[in-house]
């Protein structure tokens, strides 16, 4: 079994992409890599990142390439998409890098973080990404409160985190001028006291509409029982 066999398996898991470091670690020489590019079997999509010509360029492949080329992680709305948080869709790519790096990329929003040690890096869909609580903290600085609540509640419904996790992230990461601190604090002050988690985004929308029109916030998922059965309304 030659190095290309392992490379093909790796490429198939990484949206058709591979880094130069990965290729050399798999056994290819710089000359072989250049040859694959020259014969157009591979295309260079970022500095040090290639994509096999058999794979289409997608949002995920561009995000993979940007993260590895910049030495950063998917963050903010891009991270929210990878975490499958409600209210977030693929759009402009967002990557966070350490504050010591000064980089600019066309088509990429680059965030420089002074709290790189708190990024809580993990991997989703073969792409380096900020941790879930950090993602929601960052998201608080770039989306509206309704979208932030929608994203947070989707993670809560899946039992990936709860309000206490976000409160700890705020306490640990809040700094004067830290983007997202005010938004996350407002979310927690408004909703962290809720004991019942709605089962859907639609329930949250209706509850917010009632409050906006001067009515008290309804009790969601209210249990109605008779001697023989129990219902949730």
Q: What is the pLDDT of residues 50-108, one digit of tens each?
A: 999 999 999 999 999 999 999 999 999 999 999 999 999 999 999 999 999 988 899 99
Residue 202's pLDDT is: 47
Domain boundaries in the chain? 3-57, 71-193, 195-233
Q: What is the mean pLDDT of residues 109-116?
A: 95
Residue 171's pLDDT is: 94
pLDDT at 24 over 70: yes
Which of 149, 181, 148 is CA-nearest to residue 167?
A: 181
Residue 193's pLDDT is: 75
> 145-184 burial by CB neighbour count: b if 16+ within 10 A, else e?
eebbbbbbbbbbeeeebebebbeebbeebeeeebebbebb
User: 64 - beta bridge partners?
Assistant: none
Residue 20 pLDDT class (50, 70, 90 cuts): very high
The answer, as to whether pTM is greater than 0.85, is no
Integer Cα distance of 24 and 168 in angstroms: 41
Residue 175 pLDDT class (50, 70, 90 cuts): confident
Give the tens place of pLDDT for each residue, 200-232: 554 555 555 555 556 665 666 555 555 665 555
Per the prediction, the chain carries an average pLDDT of 88
Q: How far is CA 157 from the centre of its chain?
A: 17
Integer Cα distance of 134 and 73 in angstroms: 12
Give the tens place of pLDDT for each residue, 151-160: 999 999 999 9
pLDDT at 233 over 60: no
pLDDT at 182 over 90: yes
Residue 2 pLDDT class (50, 70, 90 cuts): low
Provide the terminal-to-terminal Cα distance of the chain, rounded to the nearest Å. Answer: 60
Integer Cα distance of 69 and 83 in angstroms: 21
Residue 174's pLDDT is: 85
| DSSP line for the chain | --HHHHHHHHHHHTTTEEEHHHHHHTT--HHHHHHHHHTTSEEEEETTEEEETTS---HHHHHHHHHHHHT-EE-HHHHHHHTT-TT--S-SEEEEEETT----BTTEEEEEES-GGGS--EEETTEEE--HHHHHHHHTTTS-HHHHHHHHHHHHHTTS--HHHHHHHHHHH--TT-TTHHHHHHHHHHHTT--S--SSHHHHHHHHHHHHTTPPPPPTT-EEE-SS-EEE-
């Amino acid at each position: 079994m030659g190095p290309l066999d392992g490379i093909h398996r790796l490429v198939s898991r990484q949206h058709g992409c591979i880094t130069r470091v990965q290729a050399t670690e798999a056994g290819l020489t710089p000359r072989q890599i250049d040859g694959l590019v020259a014969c157009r079997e591979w295309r260079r999509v970022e500095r040090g990142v290639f994509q096999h010509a058999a794979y289409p360029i997608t949002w995920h492949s561009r995000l993979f390439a940007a993260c590895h080329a910049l030495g950063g992680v998917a963050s903010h709305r891009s991270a929210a998409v990878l975490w499958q948080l409600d209210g977030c869709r693929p759009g402009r790519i967002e990557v966070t890098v350490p504050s010591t790096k000064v980089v600019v990329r066309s088509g990429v929003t680059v965030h420089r973080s002074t709290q790189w040690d708190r990024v809580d890096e993990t991997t989703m869909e073969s792409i380096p990404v900020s941790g879930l609580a950090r993602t929601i903290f960052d998201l608080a600085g770039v989306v509206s409160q309704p979208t932030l609540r929608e994203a947070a509640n989707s993670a809560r419904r899946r039992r990936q985190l709860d309000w206490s996790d976000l409160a700890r992230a705020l306490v640990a990461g809040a700094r004067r001028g830290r983007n997202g601190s005010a938004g996350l604090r407002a979310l927690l002050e408004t909703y962290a006291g809720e004991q019942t988690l709605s089962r859907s985004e639609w329930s949250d929308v209706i509850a917010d509409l009632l409050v906006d029109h001067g009515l008290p916030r309804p009790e969601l998922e209210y249990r109605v029982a008779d001697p023989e059965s129990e219902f949730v309304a």
